Amino acid sequence: MKLSAYMYTNRGGRENNEDSVRCSVQGQRGAFLVADGLGGHQSGEVASALAADVIFAGCTGEAFPDQEALLELFQAANRALREQQAVPGQENMKTTAVALCVEEDHAVWAHIGDSRLYRFSGGELAEVTRDHSVTYKKFLGGEISYMDVYHDDDRASLLRVLGKESCQPEGGSGTISAGDAFLLCSDGFWEYVYNEEMQADLCKAASPADWAERMLLRHIRRTPPGNDNFSLITVFVEE
């Protein structure tokens, strides 16, 4: 099988882009990562870049990481951030992260916070990661609907991120086949593009770039002034 991918990041209406994006495709092996920094005053971009570098280095190393190894890379990134927090002005920096590693017909992924991974198979949504946020917990508890997740007042209250003493990423894995597709993105993107629209645009897209551009057209029409940074990576699994 062959992999193809497209990545995009934009600072939106903010002064700095605190998202970090990494993408590598080599034959039938690929590594992809999106991290969304928190903390402001440029420390968010330091946090996301540091975490991205640690995790991505492990994903692109000689050995393909299994799910346990990928989760350990998140722990290593958390330790690196905790050490960096000793620097004045960076005490409160944290970041979300989502990563995907693909080799031949196997994929592993992990995430923490509210950066998401969507997996499509047969043109339909097969899986989406669950946000580590107060809002998503309210949805799981039946207090709000899934559509309320996009606009709930507590959506920015994250329960798990890199940069805390306790680090609890979640992971998944699965067999993939030709025609499957993945989307990794920060919350600044997914909050303005709904699942059904992602699926509809995928069915029309001829390439990862085409899919991304179709979704970005929806995004740009909906974002208010001063909107958050937004980033995405689209991945196609082909014959």
2-130+160-238: CATH architecture: 4-Layer Sandwich (3.60)
- Predicted TM-score of the model (pTM): 0.95
Span between the terminal Cα atoms of the chain, in Å: 5
Tens-place pLDDT, residues 130-140: 999 999 999 99
Q: Check residue 13 and give its pLDDT.
A: 87
For 3, the token pair is 């992999």
**Looking at residues 227-231, what average pLDDT do you find?**
94
Q: Check residue 153 and give its pLDDT.
A: 87
Q: Which residue has the tokens 């507590």?
A: 154
Q: Check residue 6 and give its pLDDT.
A: 98
Using the CB atoms, write b or e for 31-47: b if 16+ within 10 Å: bbbbbbbbbeeebbbbb
Query: Quick check: 89 pLDDT over 90?
Result: no
pLDDT above 90 covers what percent of the chain? 85
Query: Quick check: 41 pLDDT over 70?
Result: no
